[in-house]
Amino acid sequence: MNNHSEQERQAFALGQAVGLGFTQPLGQMRRGSAGRVLAVSSEMGGHDIERGLLEMGFVEGARVEVLHHGFLGQDPLAVRINQTMTIALRRCEANAVLVGPLHDSAVEAKPGLTLEYASS
């Protein structure tokens, strides 16, 4: 358990370092909430987790929405990415994904492919 809270602390620290308001790790999000991926970190689980997350579509700029969670400990999560694909992952790994507010309403109305990058 100690290990877990250490990761949560790191995730928060990362969010603060990026300096964006209302940011939170994906692993802290409630069911039904949505946001936009700001960063996928390699600090949490190393490059393998980072690459795994990227390959499943957790990439900067993607829209994420927490649809479901499990019964025990509200773990794992089912996260909808860009309204096309749903991924199951544990909160522990989800903490490597930093999520910010959705902001633009245009994307809300017309979901899917138009994405802007935090980096660009």
Partner 1 sequence: MTAVTLATEEVRLARIALVGPPNSGKTTLFNTLTGGRQKTANYPGVTVERKSGRLRTPVGRTVELLDLPGSYSLRARSPDEAITRDVVLGRQAREALPDAVVCVTDATNLNQHLRLLLELRQLGRPLILALNMMDIAQKRGCQISLEALSRHLGIPVVTTVAMRKNGVQDLLSQIDTLLNQPPVASGATADWVEPTPEAIRAYHREVEQLLREAVVQEGAPERLTRQLDRVLLHPMVGPLILLGLLFLMFQAVFSWAEAPMDWIDGGMASLQALLSEHMADSLLKSLLIDGVIAGVGGVVIFLPQILILFLFILLLEDSGYMTRAAFLMDRLMSAVGLNGRAFIPLLSSFACAIPGIMAARTIAHPLDRLTTILIAPLMTCSARLPVYVLLIAAFIPNTTVWGGIGLQGLVMFGLYATGIVGALVMAGVLRLTLLRGGRQPLLMELPSYKWPNPVNVLLGLLERARIFMRRIGTIILSVLVLLWFLSTFPAPPVGATEPPIYYSLAGLIGRGLEPLLAPIGFNWQIAIALVPGLAAREVAVAALGTVYALSSDEGTVTEALTATLAHDWTLATALALLAWYVFAPQCLATLAAARRETNSWRWPTFMFVYLMVLAYLAAFVTYRVALAMGGG
Contacts of partner 1 in 53-72 (CB under 8 A): 53-57, 59-60, 67-72
User: Binding of partner 1 at residue 34 (CB under 8 A)?
Assistant: no
Do 38 and 60 meet the contact criterion of CB atoms below 8 Å apart? yes
Number of residues that bind partner 1 (CB under 8 A): 46
User: Binding of partner 1 at residue 19 (CB under 8 A)?
Assistant: no
> Nearest to residue 97, comparing CAs of 67, 61, 73?
61
Q: Where are the beta strands (DSSP E) in 17-60?
A: 24-25, 34-40
> Nearest to residue 6, comparing CAs of 35, 27, 21?
27
**87 φ, ψ to 5°?**
-120, 135
To the nearest whole angstrom, how small is the minimum distance from the Cβ of residue 87 to partner 1? 6
User: Binding of partner 1 at residue 111 (CB under 8 A)?
Assistant: yes
Binding site for partner 1 (CB under 8 A): 40, 42, 45, 47, 49-57, 59-60, 67-76, 78, 80-90, 92-93, 110-115, 117
